[in-house]
C-alpha cells in the first residue's frame, strides 16, 4: 500500500493488519509518499512487512500498530537489520500490538537516512515515488515474532560485548530500544545478566577513555559519544553499577568528560600560542578555540564552559598580546597590528575578541610603542646661533618600559626666548599589511604648540626651535 502523507494533516498507511499513523510534519514540510508492503512471512515470523523509504528518519514519532485475531501475548515487533533481529518496545491492547518509531526501520548496513532532500532522493525515484527494493535487499524490514526472553537476552549480551555501538549512533539507538523492550517484557536471571554486561561495557569505555589523549574536537566528540552511549545502555538496562574508587561508572564518565575537555583546551591553547601570527593559520586556530564555547554548551559541561569564558579565553588572549609585543620588540615586526586585525570582527571597544581584559586600542598602543621610540631634549639660552645649553634641564623620553607600561610625555622648562632641541627616533604606527599610519609628536606650552607629523618610521637629528613665551 502506498500513500502520500500530507505535511499539515498527516495521514495513515494500512495493509493486512498493519497501520502507520503519521502526525503533521512527521516527514517534514512537503508531501511525501510512504509505502507499507506485505512480504511473505519469514521462517518463525507471524508476519513480515517492509517500510519505504527504508531507514527514513522522522521529525515526529509515528505510531505503528499490528492488529490480528488471537495474537499471542508474547508477540513483539522486530526490525530485521541485515538479517539480525532487533527487538522493539511495544504495548498490547486487546488484539493490537503498538509502538512508536522514529525512523522507517533501518537501511542496509543498519543506517538511518537523514531527513533532507538529497537523502530522500536516494530513497525515492526521479518521479518522487518510493524506490522498490529487490526481495533479497535488506532495508526497512519489520517482523512480528514471539519473544523468547532467554534467547533474546543471550543475543543482547553478545551485542553489548561488541564495541561498534559506542561510536555508531544508529546502532546505539537500536540497542537502546532493544534493552528497553527486554526490561518491559522479561525479568529474572536474563535481566540481571544484561545489567552486568551494561555495567561492564561502561567500565571498559571509562577505562579506555582515561588513557585516550584528546588533541582535537573530533577526537573529543568520539570519546564523548562512546561514554554517553555506554551510560545510556546502563540506564536502558535499569542497572545499578558497583562503585570503583568511590564513584560509580556513570559519575566517573561525567568526571572524565570534563577532565578530557580540559585536556583538549590545553592542546588548543598551546597550538594557538605556538602558531604565532601566520595569517590564515592563526585565524583557523583562533576560530577553533572560540568555537569550543559553543561545543561545550551543547554538551552540557557547565564547569568547563565557565572556565572557557572566565579563564581560558582571557589567558590565551593575554598570551597572544604578550607574544606579539615581544616579537615586535625583538624584530620590529608589526605583530600587535596583525593580532589587532584578527579580532576586528569579534571585538568590542572594551574587550578584544569579546573576552580579553583589554580592548583593541591597547593593541594599537602596543604597535606604536613596541619599537621603542625615544626622544632626547636639550634646552638652550638666547639666540639660535649660540649653543648655550642649560645642561641641568636636559631630559629624555624612553617610551618603552614593558608591555602596557609606556612613558608618553615629559615636561621641560624653556627660558624666555630660549630654544628646545629634540633628537630621536619616532616610528610610525604600522598596520597589519605593513603600511604606515601617521602619528604626531607634539610640543606644547600654554600658549602655543609645535607638532611633527611622520609618514614613515624615521629618525630626526637635533632640531632646534625658538620658543617664545
Q: Give the range of the structural domain holding residue 48, as residue numbers without chain letter.
A: 1-147
pLDDT value, residue 146: 93
Q: What is the CATH number of the domain that holds 69?
A: 2.60.220
Give the separation between CA 460 and CA 75, rounded to whole angstroms: 97
Q: Which residues contact 309 (CB under 8 A, 6 or more apart)?
A: 293, 355
**Confidence category of residue 66, pLDDT binned at 50, 70, 90:** very high
Q: Residue 468: which pLDDT band, with cuts at 50, 70 and 90?
A: very low
Q: Inform me whether the pLDDT recorded for 439 exceeds 50.
A: no
| Contact (Cβ atoms closer than 8 angstroms) between residue 428 and residue 437 | yes
Residue 28 scores a pLDDT above 70: yes
Domain boundary among 147, 178, 196: 147
Report the candidate in 52, 43, 40, 54 with the shortest Cα–Cα distance to residue 135. Answer: 40
pLDDT averaged over the chain? 76
Indicate whether 162 and 217 sit together in one domain: yes
Residues 320, 224, single domain; the answer is: no
Q: What is the pLDDT of residue 362?
A: 86
pLDDT tens-digit profile of 449-458? 444 444 333 3
Same domain, 15 and 75: yes
pLDDT of residue 20: 92
Name the grid cell of 202. 561502561
Q: Give pLDDT tens digits for 245-284.
A: 556 777 878 788 878 877 887 777 777 666 655 555 566 6
346-350, 377-381, 435-439 — which one is most confidently predicted on average? Answer: 377-381
Percent of the chain with pLDDT over 90: 10
Q: Where are the beta strands (DSSP E) in 106-226?
A: 141-146
> Pick from 216, 233, 267: which residue ends a domain?
267
263 lies in the same domain as 177: yes
Give mean pLDDT, residues 144-171.
83
How far apart, in whole angstroms, are the C-alpha atoms of residue 393 and residue 390?
A: 6
* pLDDT at res. 129: 40
Identify the residue with better confidence: 132 or 259.
Answer: 259
What total number of domains does the chain contain?
A: 4
Task: Give residue 143's Cα distance to chain centre.
Answer: 40
How high is the pLDDT of residue 121? 35
Distance CA 142, CA 447 (A): 95
Measure the CA angle with vertex 197, ends 195 and 199; round to 5°.
Answer: 70
Mean pLDDT of 401-416: 79
C-alpha Rg value of the chain to the nearest Å: 37
* Residue 286, C-alpha cell as written in the block: 583562533
Range from 135-139, 213-217, 325-329 carrying the lowest mean pLDDT: 135-139
Residue pair 304/347 in contact by the 8 Å Cβ criterion: no
Do 155 and 100 lie in a common domain?
Answer: no
- For the ranges 26-35, 127-136, 147-156, the lowest mean pLDDT is seen at 127-136
Which run of H or E residues covers position 317? helix 313-331
Q: Are residues 261 and 184 in the same domain?
A: yes
Burial (CB < 10 A; 0-12, 13-18, 19+), residue 402, is exposed
Angle at 108 between CA 113 and CA 91, to 5 degrees: 75
**Tell me, what's the pLDDT at 98?**
94
Of 326, 351, 368, the residue at which a domain comes to its end is: 368
In this model, does residue 341 exceed pLDDT 80? no
Q: Which residue has the higher pLDDT, 98 or 208?
A: 98
Decide if pLDDT at 107 tops 70.
Answer: yes
Evaluate the CA torsion angle 146, 149, 155, 159 in order and state its sign: positive
**Is 1 in the same domain as 143?**
yes
In whole angstroms, give the CA distance from residue 35 to residue 130.
Answer: 7
What number is the average pLDDT over the span 114-142?
48
Reading across the β-sheet that carries 96-103, which strands appear in turn?
Answer: 11-15, 18-22, 57-67, 96-103, 91-93
User: Does residue 332 sit in the same domain as residue 364?
Assistant: yes
What's the pLDDT at 300?
63
State pLDDT tens for residues 293-321. Answer: 776 776 666 666 777 778 778 887 888 88
pLDDT at 457: 35
Element (H, E) at 12: strand 11-15
> CB-based burial of residue 401 (10 Å sphere; 0-12 exposed, 13-18 middle, 19+ buried)?
exposed
SS3 assignment, position 442: strand
More confident residue, 249 or 3: 3
User: Is the pLDDT higher at 330 or at 461?
Assistant: 330
| Rounded Cα–Cα distance for residues 65 and 26 (Å) | 17
pLDDT at 353 over 60: yes
Please report, rounded to a whole number, the percentage of residues in the chain having pLDDT higher than 70. 76
Task: Tell me the per-residue pLDDT of 116-129, one tens digit each, with 9 for 90 and over.
Answer: 533 333 433 333 34
In this structure, are 394 and 350 located in the same domain?
no
Residues 136 and 190 in one domain: no
Average pLDDT of span 150-173: 81
* Structure confidence at residue 460 (pLDDT): 40
Q: How far apart are CA 443 and CA 378, in angstroms?
A: 13
Phi-psi bin for 152: left (phi > 0), alpha (psi -120 to 50), beta?
A: alpha
The torsion defined by the Cα of 450, 453, 459 and 460, in degrees rounded to 10, comes to -30
Which of 294, 290, 401 lies closest to 347 in space, CA to CA? 290
Which tens digits make up the pLDDT trace of 42-60?
888 999 999 998 888 888 8
What pLDDT was estimated at residue 51? 92
What is the structure's pLDDT at 429?
Answer: 52
CA distances from 95 to 42, 48, 68, 181 (A): 22, 17, 6, 19
CA–CA dist 348, 221 (Å, integer): 31
Q: How far apart are CA 231 and CA 203, in angstroms?
A: 9
**Confidence at 87, pLDDT banded by 50, 70, 90:** very high
Q: What pLDDT is attached to residue 78?
A: 94
Q: How many CA atoms lie within 13 A of 268 on its CB side?
A: 29
Q: What phi, psi does 14 have (nearest 5°)?
A: -135, 145
> Which is more confidently placed, 340 or 468?
340
Contact 144, 47 (CB under 8 A): yes
- The verdict on 196 and 285 lying in the same domain is no
**Amino acid 361: pLDDT:** 86
**Residues 305 and 251 grouped into a single domain:** no
Amino acid at each position: 500500500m502506498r500513500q502520500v502523507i500530507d505535511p499539515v494533516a498527516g495521514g495513515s498507511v494500512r495493509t493486512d493488519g498493519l497501520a502507520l499513523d503519521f502526525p503533521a510534519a512527521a516527514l517534514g514540510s512537503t508531501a511525501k509518499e510512504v509505502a507499507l508492503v506485505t512480504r511473505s512471512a519469514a521462517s518463525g515470523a507471524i508476519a513480515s512487512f517492509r517500510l519505504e523509504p527504508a531507514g527514513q528518519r522522522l521529525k515526529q514519532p509515528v505510531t505503528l500498530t499490528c492488529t490480528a485475531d488471537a495474537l499471542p501475548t508474547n508477540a513483539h515487533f522486530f526490525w530485521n537489520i541485515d538479517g539480525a533481529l532487533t527487538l522493539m518496545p511495544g504495548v498490547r491492547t486487546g488484539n493490537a500490538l503498538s509502538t512508536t518509531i522514529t525512523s522507517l526501520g533501518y537501511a542496509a548496513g543498519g543506517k538511518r537516512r537523514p531527513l533532507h532532500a538529497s537523502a530522500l532522493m536516494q530513497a525515492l525515484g526521479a518521479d518522487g515515488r518510493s524506490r522498490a527494493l529487490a526481495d533479497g535487499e535488506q532495508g526497512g524490514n519489520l517482523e512480528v515474532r514471539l519473544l523468547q526472553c532467554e534467547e533474546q537476552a543471550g543475543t543482547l549480551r553478545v551485542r553489548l560485548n561488541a564495541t561498534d555501538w559506542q561510536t555508531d549512533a544508529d546502532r546505539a539507538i537500536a540497542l537502546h530500544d532493544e534493552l528497553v523492550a527486554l526490561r518491559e517484557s522479561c525479568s529474572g536471571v536474563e535481566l540481571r545478566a544484561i545489567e552486568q554486561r551494561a555495567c561492564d561495557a561502561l567500565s571498559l569505555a571509562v577505562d579506555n577513555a582515561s588513557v585516550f589523549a584528546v588533541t582535537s574536537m573530533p577526537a573529543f566528540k568520539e570519546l564523548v559519544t562512546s561514554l554517553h552511549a555506554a551510560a545510556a545502555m546502563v540506564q536502558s538496562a535499569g542497572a545499578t553499577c558497583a562503585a570503583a574508587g568511590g564513584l560509580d561508572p556513570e559519575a566517573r564518565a561525567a568526571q572524565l568528560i570534563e577532565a578530557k575537555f580540559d585536556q583538549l583546551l590545553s592542546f588548543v591553547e598551546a597550538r594557538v600560542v605556538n602558531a604565532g601570527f601566520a595569517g590564515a593559520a592563526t585565524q583557523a586556530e583562533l576560530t577553533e578555540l572560540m568555537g569550543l564555547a559553543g561545543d561545550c554548551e551543547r554538551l552540557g559541561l557547565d564547569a568547563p564552559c565557565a572556565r572557557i569564558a572566565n579563564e581560558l579565553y582571557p589567558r590565551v588572549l593575554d598570551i597572544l598580546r604578550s607574544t606579539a609585543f615581544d616579537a615586535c620588540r625583538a624584530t620590529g615586526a608589526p605583530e600587535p597590528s596583525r593580532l589587532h586585525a584578527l579580532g576586528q570582527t569579534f571585538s568590542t571597544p572594551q574587550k578584544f575578541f569579546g573576552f580579553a581584559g583589554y580592548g583593541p586600542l591597547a593593541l594599537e598602543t602596543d604597535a606604536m610603542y613596541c619599537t621603542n621610540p625615544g626622544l632626547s631634549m636639550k634646552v638652550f639660552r638666547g639666540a639660535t646661533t649660540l649653543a648655550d645649553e642649560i645642561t641641568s634641564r636636559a631630559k629624555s623620553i624612553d617610551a618603552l618600559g614593558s608591555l602596557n607600561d609606556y612613558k608618553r610625555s615629559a615636561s621641560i622648562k624653556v627660558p624666555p626666548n630660549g630654544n628646545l632641541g629634540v633628537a630621536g627616533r619616532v616610528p610610525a604606527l604600522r598596520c597589519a599589511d605593513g603600511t604606515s599610519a601617521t602619528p604626531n609628536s607634539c610640543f606644547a606650552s600654554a600658549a602655543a604648540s609645535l607638532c611633527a607629523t611622520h609618514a614613515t618610521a624615521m629618525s630626526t637629528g637635533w632640531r632646534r626651535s625658538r620658543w617664545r613665551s
